[in-house]
Amino acid sequence: MLTQYIPVLGFLSENADFAEIVNAHEINFIGPSPEHIKTMGDKVSAKIAAEKAGLPLVPGSKGSISSLNKAEEEALKIGFPVIIKAAAGGGGRGMKVANSMENLSEAFSSARSEAKAAFGDDTVYLEKYLKTQGI
Longest dimension (CA), the chain: 61
Question: Rounded to whole angstroms, how far apart are CA atoms 26 and 64?
Answer: 36
pLDDT of residue 13: 86
pLDDT of residue 82: 98
Residue intervals in the chain for CATH 3.30.1490.20: 68-128
pLDDT tens for the chain, residues 1 to 135: 889 988 887 788 889 999 999 999 999 999 999 999 999 988 999 999 999 999 999 999 999 999 999 999 999 999 999 999 999 887 889 999 999 999 999 999 999 999 999 999 999 999 999 988 776
pLDDT of residue 135: 65
- May I ask the CATH architecture of the domain 68-128? 2-Layer Sandwich (3.30)
DSSP letter string over 3-22? Answer: -EE---SSGGGG-HHHHHHH
CB 78 within 8 A of CB 60: yes
CB 19 within 8 A of CB 33: yes
Q: Which residues pair with 65 in a beta bridge?
A: 124
Neighbours of 68 (CB within 10 A): 13
pTM over 0.95: no
What is the side-by-side strand order in the sheet with 124-128? 95-98, 82-86, 124-128
